[in-house]
Amino acid sequence: MNEKIDTLLEKMSLLEKEILRELQKKELEFFYEVRQGKIRFTEEARARHKMLVKRFSTYIRESRFWTIVTGPVIWAGILPIAILDLFMVVYQSICFPVYGIPKVKRGDYIRLDRRHLAYLNWAEKLNCEYCGYANGVLACATEIAARTEQYWCPIKHALRMKSMHSRYRHFFEYGDAEHYRQQIETVRRSFEDIGKSEAPETAAPAST
């Protein structure tokens, strides 16, 4: 495998963790804390938020016409996303034990915590929770697919890709037939790093 690419991907992973730590510093800046999965704002912050909430009538009046018209199109996606969510739960429950692949923790990707923001009206909260759910499901599905690909076809692409999933660095180089045949069974079971990468370093916002 290309050691330079593996090194760069490892650096990317470290940078992502560093970004997460920087984002978590915002807890102090915006007067909230996360303890045991519970999000708590200071009384002063909550009072300030309630002063900034926008009435639903004002929210609708200030929205662009086409933004309102296209809203149902966005919400139409809830059905296929929910079906995908259900399928992924069933799929990995049935297949991953057979393949020896660690299951993806759904709760690590789907975070429904924006409803606790007092400066959002009910429509904004609903939209925000939908976005969190939809993107969480898609991210979870990507990780499930990535682990599946590592088992069935851990070969890198020759053509350039816009982005790479979390398991890509473990794959064989395109055209490396010898290593593929010699080490395919080893790579199929190389998930030892998952426990380390998923271990939380600090408390992260979670749904309540």
The pLDDT averaged over each successive group of 10 residues in the chain (208 residues) is 70 77 60 64 73 82 88 95 98 96 95 87 93 97 97 94 90 92 93 66 38
- Backbone φ and ψ of 129, nearest 5°: -65, -35
- What's the confidence (pLDDT) of residue 33? 55
Rounded to the nearest 5 percent, the helix, strand and coil shares of the chain are: 65, 5, 30
**What is the pTM for the complete model shown?**
0.75
79 belongs to a structural domain: yes
Does some domain include residue 207? no
Q: Does residue 208 belong to any structural domain of this protein?
A: no
Let me know: does 40 contact 107? Beta carbons within 8 Å: no
Q: Which of 103, 116, 113 is nearest to 147 (CA)?
A: 103
Is 205 within the bounds of a domain?
A: no
Q: Cα(198)–Cα(137) distance, rounded to whole angstroms?
A: 17
Q: What is the pLDDT of residue 48?
A: 77
Residue carrying the six token digits 């809830």: 78
The position carrying tokens 């300030």 is 48
Domain membership flag for residue 171: yes
**203 within a domain of the structure (yes/no):** no
pLDDT for the residue 60: 84
Contact present, 49 and 117 (Cβ < 8 Å): yes
In a domain, residue 27? The reply is yes
pLDDT at residue number 205:
40
Cα separation, 1 vs 178, in Å, equals 11
**Token pair in block for residue 149:** 């690909």
Q: In this structure, is residue 17 part of a structural domain?
A: yes
Cα separation of 10 and 16, whole Å? 10
Q: Which domain holds residue 127?
A: 3-198
CB 151 within 8 A of CB 99: yes
**72: exposed, middle or buried (Cβ count in 10 Å: 0-12, 13-18, 19+):** exposed
Domains of the chain: total: 1
